Structure 1
Amino acid sequence: MLNGKRILLIIGGGIAAFKSLDLIRRLRERGAVVTPVLTQAGSEFVTPLSVSALAGAKVYRDLFDLTDEAEMGHIQLSRSADLVLVAPATADLMAKMAQGLANDLASTLLLATDTPVMVAPAMNVRMWDHPATRRNLATLRGDGIAVIGPNDGDMACGEFGPGRMAEPLEIVAALEGALGGGPLAGKRVLVTSGPTHEPIDPVRYIANRSSGAQGTSLGVALAALGAEVVFVTGPADVPPPAGVQVIKVQTAQQMLAAVQTALPCDAAIFAAAVADWRVATASDRKLKKTKDGMPELEFVENPDILATVSQMTTGRPGLVVGFAAETNDVIENATAKLQRKGCDWIVANDVSPETGIMGGSENAVHLIWDGGVEDWPRMGKDAVAQQLAGRIAAALN
């Protein structure tokens, strides 16, 4: 899908710049033409010679190089690509993009381009979590810029958390989705997946048997149709899909916060099996057996993520899809849930133990909307995801 595609790669200044070398190699393996732009800070981490050798092309660095200006010009350079990729996208570069600054070649190209732009953020976890970065990120997304990553992991600075640049193959997959010309190209879709874990004490929690398999399959299917997928997942057994933005959470409250941060989007698909209740006050120490018997636990209701988003008065996604895992009266209970939550569709299934669906490889669902029910045959979860992704694409176009 990348054969013959022209990628203008802007390499920002951060330790993750070393990944850009492997990224160039992966892109060229797939037939892409890579034109590299190296920022001054980026050249502190990778050399122009190594970038040029891997790209098989000249490295552009200086806005005021008059020879380059005569031959191509920064305006033409910014518009001659099929997509502009910033990897790594540092906090500084993202701030320049959000504010429309243009004081070097990279920022000028980004301001002058009329082609799609994708950024792969990479920075210290504190910088990523800083309110200024969050505001800049929201601005970039609002401007239609696609975002891939960052991932969680160990930092070069010794800290751990979100801020690691997405891996080269993840970026390649995102580019293939963005440039594949699929029916969801240019659409931003939020998917929640997996269970939530609600702590009782440091070693115990409330959870369910959701593996996250259906959510991952759905993320893969949507990305394959060209969507920019934001994947918010609880602690699932099945790994998240490659080539999408992954946000990992533990609890229902964390999932709601992640969902709200990820908005706006064109569609929101709530496949996660969110715990309905949590312990009012989780103990900071392991609860012990005593002669008085079991400790008393007080439960409170978790936030209703599906209803919260469905009933938004401003910024509501154009399509909101919920999932209903039922053990009896599946269609009746799911239809009531559709009306109660205010979503557009409900994907309902029977998760009684004898079906083997919860945690299994197959699913049998009913697609329910206001005034209609469509029964789908039992099939693999990948096939369910592909069929649902196709319906979502049709609804958004």
Structure 2
Amino acid sequence: MTALTWHGEQDVRVEEVPKPEIVNPTDAIVEITATAICGSDLHLYNGYMPSMREGDVLGHEPMGEVVEVGEEVDRLEVGDRVVVPFTISCGGCWFCEEDLYSLCDNSNPNAELASKIMGQSPAGLFGFSHMLGGYAGGQAEYLRVPYADVGPVKIDSDLSDEQVLFLSDIFPTGYMAAENAEIEENDTVAVWGCGPVGQFAIQSARMLGADRIIAIDRIPERLEMAREHADAETIDFEEEDVYDRLMEMTGSRGPDRCIDAVGTEAHGTGVVGATDEVKQDVMLQDDRPVVLRQAIRCCRKGGTLSIPGVYLGRSDNVPTGPLMNKALTVKTGQTHVQRYLDPLLEKIEDGEIDPSFVITHEASLEDGPELYETFNEKEDGCIKAVLTP
């Protein structure tokens, strides 16, 4: 079958790889009808995620049609149309029973490797390094789905692939980010990063009752999308000092809730931004915590900081003193996708949101390497790319 494979920094190729087969009786095989490139894929593309191997199949935002099921799969049948969450969860461990699906104890066969770095292993993820399971991803013609009764959500309506595809990751991720922010009525919410996750965090903050949403980015198309689809106020961080502008907009109190939808590859300005990039390049730090620092400084006293942006390791000069002295609450984590699938699908079916608004580029799987480059360079107004095998 055809798949997009990783071969090193900024080297994604279209290759023929073996078609997946049933390995365990709880597996299903899904023929992919749509798959997306995620901002998190760019961490792999740019060489920041450890334990990648040449030939790894990429992608963790897929959907398609079930073509084969293992003998112990009860909930899915051949012919079912499904969206597959990026988190792989067993459904039976303590964490899954607590709806903490991204912390599953049983789905990462390389848990020992992850534990050496993190202390304990989170769940396995599709197409996201051997430290997190070494699972083949969904930017391919077919995908093996472990624990098939736990993960995929069936789509029984005539909603298009584009309307439901993002249940796989970025819609639940944005929603959990807003939920973690503990938004209350009349709150002012600042969202750093207007990429796809940021856009859904903005949308979700509005759903959860935020009065004002301030979107922060440097890409004009992203800022315009936030204004057009969520009536957000915007700050271009290359044109204005973020702290000064937020203090001006909030009467010097600061936003009530801050959401870091950027993570490890945040772009800074001036000497600080340049220093962060040098430190990352020479491996003095794994992440560029520009947004994390800003959010801690800007958030109002007693406010909440939510972090859906992916961080990979160590960060330098994170202001823990202000974090503690301002009595900030911090919530983060990979998304417990399965928890959100049914309620968010209902929002789509009810017309409360059409997630396809973020799509700017659609192409075939064979065009994937070029689209990776376009997305990474923020060229051609690319905010979200969807591929069709």
TM-score class normalised by the smaller sequence: under 0.3
Question: Which is greater in Rg?
Answer: 1
What's the TM-score, normalizing by structure 1? Answer: 0.27
What's the TM-score, normalizing by structure 2? Answer: 0.27
Q: State the structure with bigger RCO (CA 8 A, min sep 6), 1 or 2.
A: 2
